[in-house]
Amino acid sequence: MTGLIVALDTTDIAQARSWADATASSCEMLKLGLEFFAANGPGGVRALGNGEKIFLDLKLHDIPNTVAGAVRALLPLRPRLLTLHAAGEAAMIRAARAAADAAGDARPRLLAVTVLTSIESTLSEIMLRAEMAMAAGADGVVCSGHELRALRELLGDDALLVAPGIRPAGSAADDQARTVTPRAAAAAGADWIVVGRPITRADNPAQAASAIAAELASTPSPLEGEGRGGG
């Protein structure tokens, strides 16, 4: 089944905790990005819960030695998922994976960001970068709902596919240009969807999250029955 991740895009730790509490029964993970991390650091991440619930979206991108050092520094937080830029190329991703492997089975799963959605790109470029990232040791990619089927076919069933840019039918697109619904993302084989404002800006975040979780639960996944850990 496709799992729900709520994006806590705020610098305010009390606000983040309140969203986390409101969505606890329907969300598998909390996505904390640069905005939150810059304001609250590792202590802020710990305050949100144990690592098993944490998706650290820090989009690491630097020389291999520096990225490896950053991954090592993050290991004590035990994040379940961690992002890095595929633009850092294979050597950087290999170094990140080697650093993550020091944590053994509890290591963070590494997700490659292929091309930022704010930058013009083509599906073939995204596919090339995704393939390179997986060959270098990434566990999966962050991709748009529109790329899920092509990437699943290219990367196989073991790749973790995480899709942001999700909007429930009838909700505001905000600044997301090409959205898909939770149902469409689940049917296309996403392991997790990332949803921010449709939950955090809702009058009732708990209700918004549980409605999305119910939509996911009622959508058969193409990967169903294969014993995936992705929920």
In this complex, which beta carbon is closest to ligand C5P, that of residue 68 or of residue 230? 230
- Which span sits near ligand C5P by CB under 6 A: 44-52, 64-72, 88-96, 196-204? 196-204
The DSSP symbol for 117 reads T
Q: Which amino acid is at 93?
A: I
The DSSP bridge partners found for residue 193 are: 4, 163
194 is a contact residue toward ligand C5P (CB under 6 A): yes
SS3 content of the chain, % helix, strand, coil (to 5): 45, 15, 35
Q: Which amino acid is at 143?
A: C
Q: Which 101-120 residues touch ligand C5P, going by CB under 6 A?
A: 117
Q: Which 124-143 residues touch ligand C5P, going by CB under 6 A?
A: 142
The DSSP symbol for 52 reads G
Least CB distance to ligand C5P at residue 166 (A): 6
205 is a contact residue toward ligand C5P (CB under 6 A): no
In this complex, which beta carbon is closest to ligand C5P, that of residue 185 or of residue 187? 185
Residue 213 burial (10 A CB sphere; 0-12, 13-18, 19+): buried
Which of 20, 32, 36, 59 is catalytic? The answer is: 59
Contact 78, 107 (CB under 8 A): no
174 is a contact residue toward ligand C5P (CB under 6 A): yes
Angle ∠(48,201,168) on CA atoms, nearest 5: 105
Contact 52, 30 (CB under 8 A): no
Least CB distance to ligand C5P at residue 65 (A): 26
Residue among 7, 45, 134, 213 that touches ligand C5P (CB under 6 A): 7
Whether 59 is catalytic? yes
- Contact residues for ligand C5P, defined by CB under 6 A: 7, 9, 33, 117, 142, 164-165, 174, 176, 194-198
